[in-house]
Amino acid sequence: MPDRIDDLPLALYSSAQVRELDARLIAAGTPGFELMQRAAHAAWRALRRRWPSAGEITVLAGRGNNAGDGYLIAALALRAGWRASVLAVGDSSALQGDAALARDEAQAAGVAIQIWSEDADLRGVVVDALLGTGLAGAVREPYAHAIRCINASCLPVLAVDIPSGLSADSGAVLGVAVRADLTVTFIGLKLGLFTGDAPELVGELAFDGLQADLGLVAAHPVAARRLAVEGMALPGPRPATAHKGRYGRLLVVGGDLGTGGAALLSAESALRSGAGMVSLATRGEHVAAALARMPEVMSIGVASANQLRGLAAASSVLVVGPGLGQNAWGRSLMSAVVAHDVPQVWDADALNLLAAGRVALPAGCIITPHPGEAARLLGVDTASVQADRPAAARALAHRYNATVVLKGAGSLVASADGRLALCDRGHPAMAGAGLGDVLAGVIGALLAQGMAAFDAACLAVWLHASAGQQLGAQGRGLAASDLIPTIRQLLEECSPCRS
């Protein structure tokens, strides 16, 4: 079985859920100031591991509990023989409760506390303790200016709990956000640390549960779960009597003139991911190339919906849209597709035709939009989708009564019943054409082998991103077809064909 990429928890929380969890811990007998002290110690340990010889820190502190963590970190650094100073952004005398106690402890330890100004000297490791998870609107001054100064300093940056200015719920930048090298987060992982703009801003992520009662944490509601092998459904081993008819008849529909390669990629990835029989309905001009590339796939040239109907009726799963186009040929084939009550995966131009109102999505389908396609399906702009990717994924699942794979950094899988999963694997080398076509084929193959829609989508997204991460280590130039053998290998490692 592939190794876990990290030892972080799988549960992801909204900012409100983390605040509730924090309140429950306090109500259960752990004082808030003790939790703050534990957080400071955790951050200080992580800072020393990452920069053991830095010898100096500059803490930028705001006016909430996040600032309290920062004051205590400064006190710990000073006691360890490091130089430590705090630059207070806003009036530190306005601090209340536990944050005020933390400021007083830092002062008693001898930490120099000064009012921040744009001319302030940042030195050593910069500790971002400005704004926490409660930030909802755009960052206001003087915090915005302080954040810009941190980013311009070129110094190493540790963010306490979350980079200031990053939404804990959506991963969107709220005007301006700190770019951290290391983020140390507490109690529960925030959903916004893994999607949207977060991968560019969080840096290395460390987690500390602050010795919270595991039973209390496990009973608390979550916003989403990270995808990992041990948390996903997998196809079972195959019996010695296995035959091709038990593992589905999958039909890929697509490949208009000029875009035949997209349908070929989907068919090949479906074949290599274990579908029993794979057929391809495409332009007649592409059949020779398809047979030369994949003689195992039954490739048929179709010119109209009438020719497709019989093929679709004989299939147990349809993968529709790769290279389909939006012209008369593609629209005609879609009219045949929607009449069949079998599991379907809609991708690419099938989604564009759906957004244009030219077809209706059968119930129980899986749709795989990138942010631009998601925006068209929701009738908004792409920026609105990216501003709150979890909300967009949920909205699509509800609107279309479908399982949704919202692709991009921190891909999300949402079901119509409210479940949400996030994949934090992948690599920038995956930014290329055809990778979505490969993913659609993998999803279809897992459906053909009997997996439920949400489970198939989750496993396919994880396999696809994990393969990309593994191959992306070789650098630029990753071709979509490169992923297919690695996906097959990963699937076998996760779920061996023979028990």
Annotated binding site: 66, 128, 132-138, 143, 161, 164, 262, 323, 370, 407-411, 436-437
Annotated binding site for (6S)-NADPHX: 132-138, 143, 161, 262, 323, 370, 437
**208 pairs with which residues across the strands?**
186
Spatial neighbors of 307 by CB under 8 A, at least 6 apart, are none
CA 137, CA 174: separation in Å to the nearest integer? 6
Quickly tell me which residue has 């969107």 as its tokens: 172
CA 149, CA 155: separation in Å to the nearest integer? 10
Direct distance between the N- and C-terminal alpha carbons of the chain, in angstroms, rounded to an integer: 13
CA 449, CA 208: separation in Å to the nearest integer? 39
Annotated binding site for K(+): 66, 128, 164
Closest to 444 in 3D by CA, of 292, 254, 285: 254
Q: Is 205 helix (H, G, I), strand (E, B) or coil?
A: strand
CA 297, CA 289: separation in Å to the nearest integer? 11
Q: Give the Å distances, CA to CA, from 366 to 131, 382, 389, 424.
A: 38, 20, 17, 20
Annotated binding site for AMP: 407-411, 436
Neighbour-count burial of 258, counting CB atoms closer than 10 A to its CB (0-12 exposed, 13-18 middle, 19+ buried): exposed
Neighbour-count burial of 269, counting CB atoms closer than 10 A to its CB (0-12 exposed, 13-18 middle, 19+ buried): buried
Spatial neighbors of 431 by CB under 8 A, at least 6 apart, are none
- In this structure, what is the dihedral angle of CA atoms 43, 153, 91, 31, given to the nearest 10 degrees? -10
Closest to 12 in 3D by CA, of 226, 220, 197: 226
CA 178, CA 200: separation in Å to the nearest integer? 10
CA 15, CA 134: separation in Å to the nearest integer? 7
Residue 142: cis peptide before it, omega within 30 degrees of 0: yes
Q: Is 213 helix (H, G, I), strand (E, B) or coil?
A: coil
DSSP code at position 156: -
